[in-house]
Amino acid sequence: MHFKKYLIAGLLFWLPLAITVWVLTWLYGLLDGVLSGLLSAIDVVVPNNQHNWIDVLNQYHGVGVAMMFVLLLVTGALVSNVAGRWWVKQWDRLFIHIPIVKSIYVSVKKVSNTLFSSNGNAFRKALLVQFPRQGCWTIAFQTGTPSAEIAAHLNGEHLSVYVPTTPNPTGGYFIVVPKSDVRDLNMSVDQALTYIISMGAVVPDEQVATLSSPTSNRP
């Protein structure tokens, strides 16, 4: 009996650390692989007598991570001023004239601007919605409001929400629901994500999130 207890206790101690190390290792390899791919492309086009410096860079692991960090920092500083924003517009103008590439580039740019904008509201609020049928409740995140075209076909005020799957929240469903059917949760987005990833096993710090009814339902 004690053997099983100690085994589970040891697993609970090491599992979070192991997963954290695995994720960081994967991220490190991904960023470092960017430099390797770039050097491989350069290796094809440069003359054979200039391959020495490429071989030297390939021997040092972690250079890609450092270069990516510096690149992001420098790029962020450059595009934050007036001249940089002008160059960004020219860059965007170049890509929106390329078929196929335009659809992917514009979509990713809009999503990234929405998610990482300091004044954006996407994924800033955890909600409780009925899904996949009436009477079943799940945690979702507000992503915005429906477009004018969609709102014209709906009666009353609606919200655009994202319903993540569990235990992998990167997949899910985008649905439009009446605001009157949504319940606001006082838990933070981080707490809601932890709750979803753990499949409800890890209760938020408040133990029980306060459930507030929408104003429209109050007498």
pLDDT digit string (tens) for 160-176? 999 999 888 888 999 99
Q: What is the pTM of this model?
A: 0.57
Total Cβ atoms within 10 A of residue 159: 21
Measured between alpha carbons, how far is 1 from 144 in angstroms, rounded to an integer?
A: 52
Measured between alpha carbons, how far is 119 from 111 in angstroms, rounded to an integer?
A: 14
Residue 117 DSSP class: -
pLDDT digit string (tens) for 19-75? 889 888 888 888 777 777 776 776 666 666 666 666 666 677 777 778 778 888 888
Reading the block at residue 97, the tokens are 């004239």
Picking from 147, 193, 158, the residue whose alpha carbon sits closest to that of residue 172 is: 193
Is the predicted pLDDT of residue 186 greater than 60, yes or no? yes
pLDDT digit string (tens) for 68-111? 788 888 888 888 888 888 888 888 888 888 888 888 888 888 77
Picking from 29, 31, 30, 51, the residue whose alpha carbon sits closest to that of residue 40 is: 51
Measured between alpha carbons, how far is 125 from 16 in angstroms, rounded to an integer?
A: 26
Sign of CA dihedral 59, 63, 65, 71: negative
Reading the block at residue 35, the tokens are 């430099």
Chain centroid offset of residue 101 CA: 22
Amino acid (one-letter) located at 194: T
* E strand intervals along the chain: 126-130, 137-144, 158-164, 172-178, 183-185, 211-212
Asked if residue 184 lies in contact with residue 212, where contact means CB atoms within 8 angstroms, the answer is yes
